Structure 1
Amino acid sequence: MSINCIRTLIEDANVSNPNKNALIFGNEKLTYNELFTKVNQIAYYLSELDLPKGSRIGVYSNKGIDQVVAILAILSTNYVLVPLTKLLKPEQVEYIISDCDIKCIITDKIKLESIEEIKFDGHIISYKTTHKDLPSFEEIYKYYNKPYTCDVNGHDNAVITYSFGLSGKPNGIVISHRNLIDSARVVSQYLHLNEDDIISGLLIFNLDYGLNQIFCSLYKRATLALHRFVLPNDFFNHIINDKVTVLPLMPINISDMFDEDIHRLPSTELLKNIRIITSSGGNVTAKMIADIEKYFANAKFFSMHGLTEAFRSTYLDPAQLKIRPESIGKAIPDVELYVIDENANECAPRIVGELIHRGGYIYKGFWNAKEVTEQRFKSIDILKNVINLEGQLTDEIVVKTGDYVYKDEEGYFYFVSRHDDMIKTRGFRVSPFEIESVVEREIKEIERCAVFSIENKEIEEEIVLVYTGRNELNSSEILFELKKHLASYMIPSKIIYKKSLPLIPSDKNKINKDELKKEFILKFID
């Protein structure tokens, strides 16, 4: 079996630290030996399904120890994990099932109803026993006790995660087993993680940043303490009671944790165990940094910048946070970053260009989306005006990120904008096209609509929907309909009616969103 796979970490941890707590979730605990045993039992059952190698298995559930077991069990087979965030609506799940041909779904009792609603005809496995015809983890733990072995190839597909791509439809990015190991290794290195760390499992496991918390814990034989954020008070209790030392967050989590009466926030003394805080998935504001410094006095804060097409590009050293708080930092180990203009020449300091990612952590491409893959994954020949390619093979792949950035005279990078009009909110990338499509399909009274974003420091970008029709509709009716079909983070915060919408002069079929955005800012913000 390859040394470049998560399975080796599970096996090695069982040998070196069998009695140490691997997972904590409230009062539930699982040692590395118990985790290894349960993962083997589920993996053995999955292998007996006798699906073709590379078959996709979805995990669609709320957070819990069984969810982690499911993830690791799939990665202990020759199948491919497809995480399905609990925030997705049934029709979105149905799209992903169809797009990558999911053959089996592992779920909980709550999400089972959503799966039954879409009439999924593949295998379904539930954590808890619900009825006699549906296999469950409870039953598998009782009856599957045979030894389990597997042979995983590091270059095989391991995970397909879905986010919203250029076409407006969710695109799945294909991640290898080697990618997962490399990501755990590099994060453990620059964060200086160790065996004594207790890592918060607050992030959802639908994308690589969240999944990486599981793999870093395994890599360092640390403990992962799971938590579902509901209220700030519960979150701080999780930090204190679980004795968390490493706290991975998204900017929206920082906003939420301090969305509380100041008198109800814990003292710095109670939060002194936190030594590392990380943030990715959006911009960090000055207020967020000030709050972190005030309440987590012993913590080093790492701001990071990742890609859909590669695990991570940059991180900002904590020592630079006050010196250049708006910077996304420098390249992580094993990565080279370049900023090029439209003629593929390297940009001088302070000149904006497109970020090109070369080196480690590059994923395999987009599933079933050749055009999008070709837009993002390029031959290193794109850098021929920047680096000396003499004698080098030009089939090396780099990522043309679509991120427009500049770097300063000391080599620190600064994010400026996206090439496309994707909206980034609450740590998620949202396609305006998908929201517009739902409006067009589901709300017949609306004739035309446009979706765009405005800046909001709390959540990075706020979604605005402007529409036209014969009559103005009650905004609550529109929201009611949208909530049936879209994830919560995709719901517009502002809905505006106009008798007519401006069109682009050169193309009367397209709404002029720039004009709408300017009008909105002038009317509602200025």
Structure 2
Amino acid sequence: MSINCIRTLIEDAVQGHSDKSAIVYNEKSITYGELFTKVNQVAFYLNELDLPKDSRIGLYSTKGIEQVIAVLAILSTDYILVPLTTLLKSEQVEYIINDCDIKCIITDKLQLENIEEIDFNGHIISYETADKGIASFEEIFKYYNKPYVCDINGHSNAVITYSFGVSGTPKGIVISHRNLIDSARVVSQYLVLKHEDVISGVLIFNLDYGLNQIFCTLYKKATLALHRFILPEDFFNHIINDKVTVLPLMPVNISQMFDEDLQRIPSAELFSNVKTITSSGGNVTAKMIKDCKNTFQKADFYSMHGLTEAFRSTYLDPSQVQIRPDSIGKAIPDVELYVINEDGKECGVREVGELIHRGGYIYRGFWNAPEQNAERFKSVQILKDVINLEGQLTDELVVATGDYVYKDEEGYLYFVSRQDDMIKTRGFRVSPYEIESVVAKNIPQIEKCAVFGLDNELIEEEIVMVYSALNEITENEILFELKKHLASYMIPKRVIYKKSLPLVQSDKNKINKEALKNGLLSGS
């Protein structure tokens, strides 16, 4: 058995910790011993399906202990896990099934109807007994009691994750067992996780940040407390009742927590157990940090920046969070980060360039997507003018992230924009994020704001700003404020008011700019 696979973590955790709570969810809990037994039972059944090695197994269900069992069971076989969030529409699920040729889907009763709409021809396994023709975990736990033995290669593919953006078709990113182990190790190290920690499992398990909560729990033999975020009150109760010490969040979760009347938030004394908060998957605002600091007064706040092509690149040390809240921090352990310009030279202080990720945590690549792989995964030769490449070694891969960033005088990194978001106007490259940030900081009446470019043959692209607010604000008032903070070429040519802005279906914290563009182009 490889030491670099999740299966090793499961086997290590059950040795000497069999009676410890591994997972809690509402009133239910399961020990490491019970978890190990159930994982083995499901893995044994999956092996009996006799699918080809590396077959893809979809996991399409709501959160629960059975979902974690399914994750670990698939990773205890020669198959590959493909998480499918229940936020996806039937056609999106069907796209993923076809794209990576899923042979089996593990699901629950609630999602069975959606699968029937897809006309899926592979194996289906349900948590609950639902139909005589469909196997269930209930039956597997009852009848499959034979010993289970496996030998997983750490270099084998383990997971394919998909994320749906605002346009185009999504591509799955392939993650190895070694990647999963490395990410658990490094996070446990820089967050100083402990055996006695209770880690909140509020994040969904369709992407690596959410899955990492499971693997960090196993790595430290801690406890994972699952929760489905629906109402802030319930979430606060989860933190208090489950005695959560580590709270991994996304910015949207922080916004949801403090969206309510602050008078209704429980006393800070009730959250004294929380020692660590992490945030990734979006930009953290100074207000978010302040709200967390006021409520979780003993907690260190870690702001982190990850990639699609690698687990994580940076984190901002808690000591710096209030000093430079806009920074994405510095490289995590075992990673080297470089900012280079279009000529391949290293950028100077506060000069914007592309972030290049070298070192650990780089994933295997995009599934069946040679063009995307060629665009993002580059030879280390891309850094030939920045680092010493003695010996003509050319087989090392680095990630050209497509993230435009800059460094300050102390080496802290700041995110500016995605490569494909940049607006070219009047000979300049303009970051929509920079304009949106100025709006957020200086025009509080505006609730949401989206900035993007539309083709204009005279100036390449014209800058368009669409915003929502309780009441419309005059265009002159908005432009007057923006001119105080932005260069003249960054001022929007068009400012449009809408009562509400369309959101991305799979990420309700992200504005669907593609829908706004299409609406303007069609005149609606």
Q: Same fold (TM over 0.5)?
A: yes
Contact 1:39/1:69, CA 8 A, preserved across alignment: yes
Matched residues in 1 for 2:318 and 2:256: separation?
A: 22
- Measured after TM superposition, the shift of residue 492 of structure 1 is 4.9
User: Are the structure 2 counterparts of residues 390 and 106 from structure 1 closer, same or farther at C-alpha, using a change threshold of 3 Å?
Assistant: same
Which amino acid is the alignment partner of residue 384 of structure 2? K
> Which structure 2 residues correspond to residues 349-498 of structure 1 after superposition, within 5 A?
349-421=349-421, 486-487=505-506, 489=508, 492=512
Correspondences of 1:253-402 after superposition (within 5 Å):
253-402=253-402
The residue type equivalent to 2:359 in the other structure is: G
State the identity as a percent: 71
User: For residue 493 of structure 2, what is the aligned residue in structure 1?
Assistant: none
**Structure 1 partner of 2:455:** none
The structure-2 alpha-carbon separation of the partners of 1:325 and 1:487, relative to structure 1 and needing over 3 Å to count, comes to closer
Alpha-carbon displacement from aligned partner over 1:96-138 (angstroms, at most 9, x marks no partner): 0000000000001111110011010000000000111110000
TM-score (norm 1): 0.83
2:352–2:404 CA contact under 8 A, matched in 1: yes
* In the alignment, structure 1 residue 86 sits paired with structure 2 residue 53: no
Contact 2:76 2:152 in 1 (8 A): yes
Retained in 1: the 8 A contact 2:18–2:31?
yes
CA–CA distance in 1 between the matches of 2:218 and 2:36? Answer: 11
How far the C-alpha of 1:286 sits from its partner, in A, is 1.1
Deviations 1:328-347 (Å, cap 9, x if unpaired)? Answer: 00000000000000000000
Letter in 1 for 2:411: G
Report the TM-score when normalising by structure 2: 0.83
Residue 55 of structure 1 deviates from its aligned partner by 0.2
Q: 1:498 to 1:328 in 2, by over 3 A?
A: closer
Local SS of the residue matching 1:247: strand
Letter of the aligned partner of 2:32 in structure 1?
Y
Is the 8 Å Cα contact of residues 165 and 171 (structure 1) preserved in structure 2?
Answer: no
Aligned residues: 460
Are the counterparts in 2 of residues 166 and 420 from structure 1 also a CA contact under 8 Å? Answer: no
Q: Distance in 2 between the 1:314 and 1:95 partners?
A: 32
Could you give the per-residue CA deviations for residues 221-252 of structure 1, whole angstroms, max 9, x where no partner exists? 00000000010000000000000000000000
Moved more, 253-262 or 236-245: 253-262
CA contact (8 A) 1:243 1:273 kept: yes
From the superposition, tell whether residues 254 and 391 of structure 1 become closer, same or farther in structure 2 (CA, over 3 Å).
Answer: same
Higher relative contact order (CA 8 A, sep 6+): 1
Q: Displacement of 1:497 after TM fit?
A: 11
Report the CA distance between 1:455 and its aligned residue.
8.1
Give the aligned residue type for 2:26: G
Q: Who is 1:436 aligned against?
A: none
Shift of 1:261: 1.7
For the residue of structure 1 that corresponds to 2:391, the secondary structure is: coil
Instruction: Give how far 1:488 is off.
Output: 6.5
What's the secondary structure of 1:266's corresponding residue? Answer: coil
Other-structure match for 2:181: 181
Note closer, same or farther for the CA distance 1:245–1:500 as it changes in structure 2 (3 Å cut): closer
Q: Aligned equivalents of 1:500 and 1:265: distance in 2?
A: 41
What's 1:24 paired with? 24
Aligned to 2:129: 129
Distance 1:224 1:497 in 2: 42
Q: Which runs of 5+ in 1 are unaligned?
A: 426-431, 433-451, 458-474, 502-510, 521-526
For 1:258 and 1:140, the matched residues in 2 are separated by 43
- Range that drifts further, 141-150 or 490-499: 490-499
CA contact (8 A) 2:166 2:512 kept: no
Paired position in structure 2 for 1:233: 233
Runs of 5+ consecutive residues of structure 2 not aligned to the other structure: 423-431, 437-449, 451-463, 470-498
Which residue matches 2:65?
65
1:54 to 2:70 alignment: no
CA deviation profile, 1:259-285 (whole Å, cap 9, x unmatched): 112221100000111000000011111
Equivalent residue, structure 1, for 2:442: none
* TM-fit CA distance, 1:410: 1.2
* Partners of 1:198 and 1:243 within 8 A in 2: yes
2:39 matched residue in structure 1: 39
Aligned to 2:491: none
Name the SS of the counterpart of 2:120 in structure 1: coil
**Structure 1 Cα separation of the partners of residues 27 and 519 of structure 2:** 57
* One-letter amino acid matched to 1:387: I
For 2:365 and 2:335, the matched residues in 1 are separated by 18
Q: Displacement of 1:164 after TM fit?
A: 4.0
Look up the equivalent residue of 1:134 and give its one-letter code: I
Closer/same/farther in 2, CA of residues 499 and 403 from structure 1, 3 Å limit: closer
State how 1:101-116 maps to structure 2 within 5 Å.
101-116=101-116
Q: Which residue does 2:150 correspond to in 1?
A: 150
Distance 1:16 1:454 in 2: 58
